[in-house]
């Protein structure tokens, strides 16, 4: 800034000198009156004229030099020195430095204030965001009693389902053992042994003396003491269809009344007459490798057993679904039925000691939505409502998978019925083919 003012002064000085020079060179020299008159008088006198002109010229040149010297001296010495040393160094420069310092300080103070406002704005927005997220998390992750009820009621679902599959497998294996007269079965000795054992079981446990117009008094001697078990071996509705849970647990070695009734019902529904036991010697292989008549009959017997097993598979599946499950969810299911208004004394008749897979699914897919509190609890946070919807969809998938397995069993049963329907036609065609072959050989 100092160099700026110095150069500025030099430019001003040069401009002033240029203007003065032009004025002096372009103006007419100032001649005194006496000298002018003398020149007028002595016009012819050349010496006089040259003397006067030289005197005038030297006069204005000396004036010009004096003025120029005065201007240069005054400007360079006084003005420049005063401007630089007095005004600039002592007055203007310190004042401008103080002004710049003050402006810088004020500017920094203003920036600090603006920065404080920005920091406060960001801090408040961050705090508000944290509060919003905290409120949202508290709202979304607040535990819901209705959601917990789903988890409580489905607590032992997987274990019970696996246990029902084992029961279905055991029933199927027991049916095959009975048909083929395996050891430790009622039909181990053949058809007569099976019928005799079943009649004895009926007389002592299921016989009702009042049936057939009170004509079964002699057969039911003595009468079975448990009246609730009368005709349980043929009562499909009371024995299997109506109860939610049947006290059947084929995973232990104990035989209870419910298991005995289910097995007796299966004997009366499927394979009422078992096969005669073929002589083992007649089933031995021949040397030529051809099948004998007894061997062909045994193969047909196995084919019929396979068809009967397909038919009984639906019964086994339903009985296993209602078999006793695991005790994990009994307390929660009992409490739920109490809320629905079921008397406490009747709950055990529905659920049994250990609720079956069928009983758990009955509550999860039907009874759970008959309680008005379920719909009242839907007035909840959106997140909990979505969780309940996901739980309901999961239960729906379980139910659809059960329906899918039922469709597979129905398809298998229909295929067996179709095979039996065309079996007679197939035999007729085979007889025609044999007749034609015999006629061709004779011809």
State the 10-residue block means of pLDDT for the chain, 443 residues long: 44 52 47 43 44 58 80 73 81 90 89 90 94 87 80 85 91 89 82 88 90 85 86 91 90 86 92 81 75 80 88 92 88 87 88 90 88 84 86 91 92 88 84 78 66
Distance CA 81, CA 9 (A): 11
Query: What pLDDT, on the 0 to 100 scale, is given for residue 112?
Result: 87
Domain end residue (candidates: 108, 134, 157)? 108
- Write b or e for each residue in 35-55: b if 16 or more Cβ atoms lie within 10 A of its Cβ, otherwise e: beeebeeeeeeeeeeeebeee
Query: What pLDDT, on the 0 to 100 scale, is given for residue 10?
Result: 52
- Domain-embedded: residue 436: yes
Strand-pairing partners, residue 246, are: 323
Given its phi and psi angles, is residue 324 left (phi above 0), alpha (psi -120 to 50 degrees) or beta?
Answer: beta
Distance CA 316, CA 313 (A): 5
What tokens were used for 342? 């079921």
* Rg of the chain in Å (alpha carbons): 62
Q: Do residues 88 and 184 both lie within one domain? A: no
Q: Do residues 233 and 340 both lie within one domain? A: yes
- Domain-embedded: residue 184: yes
- Domain-embedded: residue 118: no
- Domain-embedded: residue 345: yes
Distance CA 315, CA 311 (A): 8
- Domain-embedded: residue 127: no
Domain end residue (candidates: 108, 139, 173)? 108
Residue in the structure block whose two tokens are 């039907």:
366
| Torsion on CA atoms 344, 349, 350, 353, rounded to nearest 10 | 90
- Domain-embedded: residue 295: yes
Q: Do residues 171 and 313 both lie within one domain? A: yes
Query: What pLDDT, on the 0 to 100 scale, is given for residue 443?
Result: 61
DSSP string, 78-92: IIIHIIIIIIIIIII
What tokens were used for 44? 């012819």
The total of structural domains in the chain comes to 2
Q: Do residues 384 and 301 both lie within one domain? A: yes
- Provide the 8-state DSSP code for 323: B
3-state SS class at 182: coil
Query: What pLDDT, on the 0 to 100 scale, is given for residue 171?
Result: 92
Query: What pLDDT, on the 0 to 100 scale, is given for residue 424?
Result: 82
- Domain-embedded: residue 120: no
Distance CA 232, CA 254 (A): 19
Task: Domain of residue 40: give its range.
Answer: 2-108
Q: Do residues 96 and 171 both lie within one domain? A: no
Closest CA to 416 of 317, 310, 316, 314: 310
Q: Do residues 438 and 388 both lie within one domain? A: yes
3-state SS class at 289: coil
What burial class does residue 223 get, using C-beta atoms within 10 Å of its C-beta: 0-12 exposed, 13-18 middle, 19+ buried?
middle
Q: Do residues 104 and 221 both lie within one domain? A: no
Q: Do residues 349 and 244 both lie within one domain? A: yes
Q: Do residues 186 and 49 both lie within one domain? A: no
- Domain-embedded: residue 303: yes
Domain end residue (candidates: 108, 137, 158)? 108
Q: Do residues 438 and 292 both lie within one domain? A: yes
Q: Do residues 99 and 164 both lie within one domain? A: no
Alpha helices in 74-179 (DSSP H): 81, 93-140, 145-153, 157-179
Q: Do residues 53 and 163 both lie within one domain? A: no
């Amino acid at each position: 800034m100092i160099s700026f003012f110095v150069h500025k002064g030099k430019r001003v000085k040069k401009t002033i000198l240029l203007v003065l020079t032009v004025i002096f060179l372009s103006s007419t020299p100032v001649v005194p009156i006496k000298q002018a008159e003398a020149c007028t008088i002595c016009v012819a006198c050349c010496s006089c004229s040259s003397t006067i002109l030289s005197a005038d010229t030297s006069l204005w040149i000396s004036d010009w030099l004096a003025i120029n010297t005065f201007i240069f001296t005054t400007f360079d010495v006084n003005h420049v020195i005063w401007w630089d040393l007095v005004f600039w160094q002592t007055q203007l420069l310190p004042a401008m430095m103080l002004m710049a310092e003050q402006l810088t300080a004020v500017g920094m103070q203003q920036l600090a204030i603006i920065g404080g406002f920005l920091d406060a704005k960001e801090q408040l927005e961050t705090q508000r965001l944290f509060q919003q997220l905290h409120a949202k998390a508290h709202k979304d992750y607040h535990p819901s009693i209705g959601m917990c009820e789903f988890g409580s009621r489905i607590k032992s679902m997987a274990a019970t389902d696996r246990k029902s599959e084992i029961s279905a497998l055991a029933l199927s294996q027991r049916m095959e053992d009975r048909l083929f007269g395996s050891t430790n079965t009622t039909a181990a000795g053949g058809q007569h042994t099976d019928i005799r054992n079943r009649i004895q079981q009926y007389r002592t446990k299921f016989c009702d003396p009042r049936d057939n117009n009170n004509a079964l008094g002699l057969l039911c001697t003595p009468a079975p003491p448990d009246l609730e078990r009368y005709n349980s071996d043929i009562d499909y509705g009371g024995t299997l269809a109506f109860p939610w849970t049947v006290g059947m647990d084929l995973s232990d070695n104990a035989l209870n009344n419910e298991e005995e009734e289910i097995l007796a019902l299966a004997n009366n529904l499927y394979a009422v007459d078992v096969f005669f036991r073929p002589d083992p010697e007649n089933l031995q292989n021949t040397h030529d490798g051809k099948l004998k008549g007894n061997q062909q009959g045994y193969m047909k017997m196995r084919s019929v057993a396979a068809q009967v097993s397909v038919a009984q598979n639906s019964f086994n599946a339903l009985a296993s679904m209602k078999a006793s499950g695991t005790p994990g969810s009994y307390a929660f299911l009992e409490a739920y039925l109490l809320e629905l208004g079921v008397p406490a004394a009747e709950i055990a008749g529905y659920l049994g000691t250990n609720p079956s897979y069928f009983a758990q699914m009955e509550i999860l897919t039907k009874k759970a939505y008959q309680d008005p509190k379920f719909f009242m609890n839907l007035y909840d946070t959106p997140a909990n409502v979505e969780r309940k919807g996901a739980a309901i969809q999961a239960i729906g998938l379980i139910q659809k998978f059960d329906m899918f397995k039922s469709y597979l069993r129905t398809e298998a049963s229909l295929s067996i019925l179709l095979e039996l329907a065309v079996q007679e036609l197939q035999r007729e065609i085979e007889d025609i083919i044999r007749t034609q072959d015999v006629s061709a050989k004779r011809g």
